[in-house]
């Protein structure tokens, strides 16, 4: 009964995700006598030694559809990173990563690392900056990669994916910087580890996943809790838990969040991809990367700032400066080009810049 239900849901996912409108430049890599497909997007201009970001798709999904949704070439150009999007094999339930959820013998973990090694020379990849993220089944696989290859991976950000029970029995090979994102109302991959669709436990609960990574990363018990501003009427609340660890650990709890990848636009307070890149980069200057047209983005620097902030705008607009409670503390009219704005009078802390086009930047104000 469970298998029939699993197949039925997988078929539904395939039908929902199968449409695509543009051609992706798909390549092949032979691994254990099987031709495996993948897509690489690299920046139009680079000086070599590129950081590399793996994006792992969900159950039944495909790399062409993902490329259409996320616009990986645009992201590669903006970040100056290589984006690698590999394709899982069809395991009978649709394309599916072997994250320990079924009895599959496919060595996806080995494939993903072998693919990485094969791409280093032709794409001049920097093996000191290797990042993994993925959604749903791709999130499951991201956890597995962190557990089995954390000694070679810089940071991981699984979204709406769990650590399966078989993988939970493995000790992580090394601490790895980890950001786990999950919605509390997810009916497909439940916050408690269950599934309303599949009808059985898929893996550890999110609370137990955090305990797993706290132990692996050498964390203390009490996290810093930051509730992000509730600026949009999206029915969601985003709460970030940051743990005091030897190796960084964060969890973004999306209260009311379902089995959805939320993009940053006028509908939602944050975008997953933007938050993930911020985490991967650490304290570097970040601009939004989630489906925001290039013309609407702002370049903001230096960040952190002690007072004077420069904003590069591609067109005239205005910005509101808000504290983390969503209160507007300053407003500025921007002209096209480089603008200087003075935040000297603001107290030390974190603020949000929101432009008239909906672009949002986080700004750290120091003394």
CATH number (domain holding residue 304)? 2.60.40.10
Q: Which of 266, 288, 310 is the last residue of a domain?
A: 288
What confidence score (pLDDT) does residue 48 get? 76
- The number of distinct structural domains making up the chain is 2
Cβ atoms 55, 133 nearer than 8 A: yes
Residues 11 and 121 in one domain: yes
Kindly state whether residues 75 and 124 are assigned to the same domain.
yes
Strand 298-301 to strand 308-313: parallel, antiparallel, or no bridges (unpaired)?
Answer: antiparallel
Domain check: are 185 and 144 in the same one? yes
Token digits of residue 225: 């809790």
Task: Give the span between the Cα atoms of 82 and 116, in whole angstroms.
Answer: 11
Are the C-beta atoms of 107 and 114 separated by less than 8 Å?
no
**Token pair listed for 248:** 């960084």
Same domain, 240 and 318: no
Which residue segment(s) compose the domain that 156 sits in?
Answer: 2-288
3-state secondary structure of 32: coil
Domain boundary among 270, 288, 306: 288
- Do 63 and 128 lie in one domain? The reply is yes
CA distance 306 to 365: 6
The residue ranges of DSSP E strands in the chain, in sequence order, are 27-31, 34-41, 50-56, 82-86, 125-135, 155-159, 177-183, 224-227, 237-243, 249-255, 298-301, 308-313, 317-322, 328-334, 337-342, 349-355, 360-365
What pLDDT score was predicted for residue 357? Answer: 65
283, 302 Cβ separation under 8 angstroms: no
98 phi, psi to nearest 5 deg: -85, 90
> Both 168 and 189 in a single domain?
yes
What global pTM score does this model have? 0.75
Note whether 202 and 339 are same-domain residues.
Answer: no
The DSSP result for 219-261, as a single string, is: B-SPPEEEEPP--SSSS-EEEEEEE-BSS-EEEEEEET--S--
Where does a domain end: 288, 315, 348?
A: 288
The verdict on 283 and 302 lying in the same domain is no
Q: Which residue has the tokens 């069809």?
A: 90
Residues 137 and 241 in one domain: yes
Q: Is 218 left (phi over 0), alpha (psi -120 to 50) or beta?
A: left
Q: Give the model's pLDDT for residue 360.
A: 67
Q: What is the pLDDT of residue 198?
A: 86
CA dihedral 156, 162, 165, 169 (to 10 degrees): 20
In a domain, 342, yes or no: yes
Q: Residue 359 domain-assigned?
A: yes
Radius of gyration of the chain (CA): 21
pLDDT in tens, the chain (367 residues): 333 334 344 433 433 333 333 344 899 999 999 999 999 999 988 777 899 999 999 999 999 999 999 999 989 988 899 999 999 999 887 899 999 998 889 999 999 999 999 999 999 999 999 999 999 999 999 999 999 999 999 999 999 999 999 999 999 999 999 999 999 999 999 999 999 988 889 999 999 999 999 999 999 878 999 988 888 888 999 999 999 999 999 999 999 999 999 987 658 888 999 899 999 988 543 344 554 444 456 788 888 888 899 998 888 888 888 776 567 889 999 999 999 999 988 888 777 787 876 666 777 777 6
């Amino acid at each position: 009964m469970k298998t029939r239900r699993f197949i039925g849901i997988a078929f539904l996912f395939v039908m929902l995700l199968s449409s695509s409108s543009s051609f992706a430049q798909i390549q092949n890599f032979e691994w254990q006598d099987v031709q495996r497909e993948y897509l690489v997007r690299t920046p139009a201009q680079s000086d070599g030694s590129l950081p590399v970001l793996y994006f792992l798709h969900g159950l039944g999904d495909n790399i062409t559809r993902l490329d259409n949704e996320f616009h990986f070439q645009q992201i590669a150009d903006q970040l100056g990173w290589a984006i690698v999007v590999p394709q899982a094999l069809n395991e009978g339930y649709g394309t599916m990563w072997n994250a320990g959820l079924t009895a599959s013998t496919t060595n996806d973990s080995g494939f993903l690392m072998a693919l990485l090694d094969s791409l280093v020379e032709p794409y001049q990849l920097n093996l000191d900056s290797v990042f993994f993220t993925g959604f749903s089944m791709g999130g499951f696989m991201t956890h597995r990669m962190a557990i089995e290859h954390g000694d070679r991976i810089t940071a991981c950000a699984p979204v709406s994916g769990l650590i399966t029970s078989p993988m939970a029995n493995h000790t992580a090979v090394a601490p790895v910087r980890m950001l786990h994102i999950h919605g509390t109302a997810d009916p497909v991959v439940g916050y408690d580890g269950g599934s309303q669709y599949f009808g059985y436990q898929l893996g550890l609960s999110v609370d137990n996943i955090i305990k797993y990574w706290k132990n692996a990363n050498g964390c203390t018990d009490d996290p810093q809790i930051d509730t992000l501003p509730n600026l949009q009427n999206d029915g969601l609340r985003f709460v970030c838990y940051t743990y005091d660890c030897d190796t960084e650990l964060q969890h973004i709890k999306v209260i009311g969040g379902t089995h959805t990848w939320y993009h940053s636009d006028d509908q939602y307070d944050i975008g997953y991809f933007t938050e993930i890149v911020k985490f991967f980069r650490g304290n570097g200057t970040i601009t939004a990367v989630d489906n925001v047209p290039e013309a609407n983005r702002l370049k903001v620097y230096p960040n952190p700032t002690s007072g004077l902030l420069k904003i590069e705008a591609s067109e005239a607009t205005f910005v509101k400066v808000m504290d983390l409670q969503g209160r507007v503390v300053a407003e500025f009219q921007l002209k096209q080009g480089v603008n200087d704005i003075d935040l000297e009078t603001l107290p030390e802390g974190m603020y949000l810049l929101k432009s008239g086009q909906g672009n949002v930047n986080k700004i750290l104000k120091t003394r």
